[in-house]
Structure 1
Amino acid sequence: MTSKPLVIRHARHVRHARRHPVRRRSATLTALTGIMLVYSLLPLAWLLVNATKTQEGLLGSNGLWFAGEFALFDNVAATLTYDGGIFTRWLLNTVLYVVLGAGGATLLATVAGYGLAKFDFPGKKAVFAVVIGAVAVPGTALAVPTFLMFSRMGLTDTPWAIIVPSLVSPFGLYLMWTYAAGAVPDEILESARVDGSREFHTFVRIGLPLLAPGIVTVLLFTVVATWNNYFLPLIMLKDPDWYPLTLGLAGWNAQAVTAGGDVIFNLVITGSLLTIIPLIAAFLLLQRYWQSGLAAGSVKG
């Protein structure tokens, strides 16, 4: 009789421990996380601080602290109006390349990855080997052959020279292939086929909702890669009117070593700050849908 209350208290203690597990903090892990956080945010802080300085203040002050005059809004206005407002044209060009290039790459990777994961056909292993080989090949190694091919087609110095190569994303295809293989159960597809659902209808109504987290992940990768693309536009484009932001800002930066060129480091820094703001906003927005998709998938599972 005396041991029964002890057993009950022990059982309650076990249930409480399961509901409220003790979280141990590692000093080493916390320190490493702090170092990585500082390492990641320090360039952003430097960019934000120096975007508030004039050209004179930029060269005559500490790089990690503000100068006397706060010139952020003047720098933004000067960046948007310099050289006839060419920065805005570069921004629109970059958005065009991202929407058509990154959006098209995500669409193609989703459709192809789903098909390769859920359908069997002769030569599937060969396709897998080609995809893996394409992932291993760096993009810079294909730049010259791509330029020669587009030059023969007469597409250099046009937006298609940036958009068409951006449509091919071997890593995105491989990611969607492996994700679709586990995220879309074969039993659900078989049930839909038994009910008379067509393949395209099954893909749209069943496949796409289950693939949402993977689609957002691929979209993030392709958007960042296309937005930051520099080497491909460098060899493909000559007309500044078709430059993306990366190439345009590099041209502004190179003016400092050009005879008779304007030294506008303050505009280069401010333009770089304006360039990363859409990326940060897109990442935060897509991360929200990514997390909601993962949560929905766990509830369904």
Structure 2
Amino acid sequence: MAAVTRRAAYARSRRPRGLVPTAVLLLGAVYCLLPVVWVVAAATKSKAELFSTSTFAPGTGLLSNLADLAAYRDGVFWVWVLNTLLYAGGGALLSTAVSAVSGYALAKYRFPGRTVIFNVLIGGVLVPSVVLAIPQYLLFSAAGLAGTYWSVLLPQILHPYGIYLARVYAGAAIPDSLLEAGRIDGAGHWLLLRRVALPLMTPGMVTIFLFQFTAIWNNFLLPFIMLGDDHTFPLTVGLYTLLAAGANQPSLYNLIVTGALVSIIPLVALFLTMQRYWRTDLADGAVKS
């Protein structure tokens, strides 16, 4: 009986301490989600409702806003969507492949200069991308690639943070004994990479892909500097041009808000689709432990 009383008293003493972190997390969630809720609500409002009401109540103009957005300049918005999918999807896939191979080599092979290369990569993580934008533009301009799709796609392929994540994950997920057993059976380097390393690194590769996809999807400065033709713009730069034009044409604000809503749907769908890889990895870790 005394033990039960002590446990109850301990539980009561712990309750207030748990309320503070929970309240902080709830406030953080509200802070992050409030702009998203406003965008969803604003995208449903007609031109008159957008400027006459400031509540989060939905409006009646979502379908007309979508139709106007699709018809704007013969559907240039959907060109921006396709461009963004090309930049984000292609760049994230190539970056994930390069990061996985590089991280695996740095984690599982011993060669001269390995530590130096890894330290340089760590230093690259600390360099802000905004610092590299102008030098990259000058290099691509000298090569005659400025203004093309390649000028946005190529700089995204080599990502130091992705290589760092792949190196850490490969070191933890791939046992050296498994690789040694494969070598004893006659497997070469590429066969070990395809059949052993990459399947074990799948959850880490998904993480790298999601990070890169999100970063490229939301990237503004690099395409803004590199591109001049609005038919090569991604969504970020395209919506910025709409916003700049909206200063003289307030009717475009409905298109801007609706475009912002449409632009976040692929990101949400991607995270919901690929989160099962994380759950699988966590379950495997629990079984192994």
Q: Same fold (TM over 0.5)?
A: yes
Q: Matched residues in 2 for 1:169 and 1:263: separation?
A: 40
Larger-gyration structure (1/2): 1
Check if 1:109 corresponds to 2:99: yes
RMSD, aligned CA: 1.9
Match of 1:277 among 236, 250, 265: 265
Cα pair 1:179 1:214 within 8 Å, conserved: yes
Cα pair 1:106 1:215 within 8 Å, conserved: yes
Q: Matched residues in 1 for 2:182 and 2:285: separation?
A: 19
Match of 2:56 among 56, 64, 84: 64
In the TM superposition, what are the counterparts of 1:80-159 in structure 2 within 5 Å? Answer: 80-159=70-149
Letter in 1 for 2:280: S
Letter in 2 for 1:38: V
Structure 1 runs of 4+ with >4 Å offset: 22-25
| Structure 1 gap ranges (5+) | 1-9
Check if 1:247 corresponds to 2:237: yes
Q: Matched residues in 2 for 1:210 and 1:298: separation?
A: 15
Match of 2:22 among 3, 26, 30: 30
SS of the aligned residue for 1:154 comes to: coil
Change in CA separation of 1:200 and 1:300 when aligned onto 2, cut-off 3 Å: farther
TM-superposed CA distance for 1:300, in Å, is 4.2
| Structure 2 gap ranges (5+) | none
TM-superposed CA distance for 1:63, in Å, is 4.4
Q: Matched residues in 2 for 1:262 and 1:55: separation?
A: 9
CA offsets, 1:72-113, max 9 Å, x none? 111111111111100010000011111221110011000100
Q: Which residue in 1 is equivalent to 2:46?
A: 54
Q: Which residue in 1 is equivalent to 2:203?
A: 213
TM-superposed CA distance for 1:298, in Å, is 3.5
Q: Matched residues in 2 for 1:298 and 1:197: separation?
A: 30
Q: Which residue in 1 is equivalent to 2:32?
A: 40
Q: Which residue in 2 is equivalent to 1:4?
A: none
Cα pair 1:213 1:294 within 8 Å, conserved: no
Cα pair 1:220 1:283 within 8 Å, conserved: yes
CA offsets, 1:144-202, max 9 Å, x none? 10000000000011000000001011100011111111111111111111111122111
Query: How many matched pairs?
Result: 279
TM-superposed CA distance for 1:280, in Å, is 0.4
Q: Which residue in 2 is equivalent to 1:257?
A: 247
Cα pair 1:212 1:290 within 8 Å, conserved: no
Q: Which residue in 2 is equivalent to 1:3?
A: none
Q: Matched residues in 2 for 1:243 and 1:254: separation?
A: 15
TM-score under structure 1 normalisation? 0.88
CA offsets, 1:218-254, max 9 Å, x none? 1110000010110000000000000000100000010
Cα pair 1:80 1:87 within 8 Å, conserved: yes
Q: Which residue in 2 is equivalent to 1:229?
A: 219
Letter in 1 for 2:82: L
Check if 1:299 corresponds to 2:284: no
SS of the aligned residue for 1:272 comes to: helix
Letter in 1 for 2:256: V
Q: Matched residues in 1 for 2:145 and 2:250: separation?
A: 32
| Identical-pair percentage | 42
TM-superposed CA distance for 1:262, in Å, is 6.1
Q: Matched residues in 1 for 2:160 and 2:55: separation?
A: 40
Letter in 1 for 2:41: V
Cα pair 1:90 1:248 within 8 Å, conserved: yes
Q: Which residue in 2 is equivalent to 1:173?
A: 163
In the TM superposition, what are the counterparts of 1:190-205 in structure 2 within 5 Å? Answer: 190-205=180-195
Out of 208-217 and 242-251, give the one that drifted further: 208-217
Letter in 1 for 2:275: Q
SS of the aligned residue for 2:201 comes to: helix
Q: Matched residues in 2 for 1:63 and 1:275: separation?
A: 22
Check if 1:267 corresponds to 2:267: no
Q: Matched residues in 1 for 2:159 and 2:219: separation?
A: 13
Letter in 2 for 1:61: T
TM-score under structure 2 normalisation? 0.92
